[in-house]
Amino acid sequence: MIADLKKFIRNLDQLLDGRDTRANDPALQAAKALLTLDLDSESKPPAELRARWGRRVNPSTKRKTFMQTLRTRPVLVVLIALLILLALSGVAYAIGKSLGYIPGLGIVDQSAPLQVLAEPVSQTQDGITITVKDAIASADKTIVTYAVENIPPEKLSPAKDVPCPDWPQLKLPDGTLYELSGGDGNVHEMRLIYAPLPANVQDVTLLIPCIQGAGHVTLPLPENWELPIRFIPAPADMTVFSVTELTPSPAAEANVVKNPLTITKVIETNDSYILTGELLVPLPLGQSDSGVYGLRITDGNGKDVSFEGFPQDIGMPTPTSPNAEVWSVKFDKGFVPPIQITYTKQYILADSSLETIEFDFDAGDDPQKVQAWQLDREFTLADRTFTLNSVSALPNSYEFNFTSTDNSIYSVDVVIDGYPPDANGGGMDAGMVGVFGSWSVSVGPYKELPKGKLKVTISHPWLIGEIKDWTVDWQP
């Protein structure tokens, strides 16, 4: 049972015992009002029957527990039912799955006994050390964190090389390989998420084919790491913080206009709060979605609250519906409640023009990785003027860098005629479009960079649309 429900029952027990509570929960406030009514007088049996009961009951001054009070005051059962209905009319606390938060590892399902790393495991090759620092096996997932130490600085430039293409795997004793299902990190530290282990498995092997985020071909690092991991039962005193799941009830959805910006989970640690949530809104007519443009938190005095977005041990929450955009934040205690979270979105819209621009670009006979060509060529497309400032050669793609003086263009489509990408390429990174008026378009990837004189086509401008804000308030 989650901590918040225990607190609710404790406060309600105080009210039933005649003691006041400062809790500001709407259901508890309603309970205080209802308890001032003489509900018992409406349900008392006849005096003769009461006298017969009285002879069978020994008087006692011992304080009744919450459940004893319910048994001896049947009307309160009705009161509790009313409180439950009141709670369900707003936000319901999910109790079906016991979730816990373990700092550094994340949110896990506690419905089955947890297994933890028996001891850290290290392996060293060519002076570089990888250490499995922590791991946990729960009913819903297996999480492993590891650190990499002593990588030479000259090998920390994946832009000059082909980055590691393969992800670590988890090998079970019978040879079964678990593929990565989630996680995050950087060249120095990784957090990996895999499927839950079978109940009888305590020993696995972490297979690391190459070091993520570092060079792989021209600046090779040691490869094919194998680190044995042993799980043991979690100690009874392990720190696990409660996770409160907030789920809008059907009654609330039916009777109240639903805020598209919602908080889905709340975690309280010793010195901070972690909130996860999502935004679910339909796209404005004729516009596309460019993702989050900004997230801001202010306190009860309107002052900004510093926060960490997508904490590494929380990462990207799982959306409750396919079209929901998720977020997570972590911020310190000590703010003036309530806080307000503002979620800002930048929309874009496709121009209907079929106009195209073609120009020649000479990449030379041997384009080098990280080579750049300064072009500063001005173009007009769909009555919009912009400048192609430069082209850069990346390990397996070309990057076209643009600016627009009127800040109206989000991006454009760019293709190199006769050179289709080897995979789903043509991605774009608009950066802070609308503020600096600049964006980049990556064309690729290619097994080998196109070379010589290339014909480039620019088309389909994407224009900056409206910026919208949504807010949601929260109080501990």
- Rounded to an integer, the average pLDDT of 136-162 is 81
- Rounded to an integer, the average pLDDT of 168-175 is 96
pLDDT value of position 60: 41
pLDDT at residue 400 is higher than 70: yes
pLDDT value of position 96: 42
Query: Which residue would you say has higher pLDDT here, 186 or 432?
Result: 186
pLDDT at residue 343 is higher than 70: yes
Average pLDDT across the chain, whole number? 78
pLDDT value of position 456: 93
pLDDT at residue 224 is higher than 70: yes
Query: Which residue would you say has higher pLDDT here, 405 or 208?
Result: 208
pLDDT value of position 81: 46
pLDDT at residue 369 is higher than 80: no
pLDDT value of position 211: 87
- Rounded to an integer, the average pLDDT of 391-400 is 87
pLDDT value of position 241: 95
Percent of the chain with pLDDT over 70: 68
pLDDT value of position 368: 77
Checking 116-123 for CB contacts under 8 A at 24+ apart, the result is: 116/231, 116/232, 116/233, 116/234, 116/235, 116/238, 117/229, 117/230, 117/231, 117/232, 118/230, 118/231, 118/232, 119/230, 121/227, 121/228, 121/229, 122/227, 123/225, 123/226, 123/227
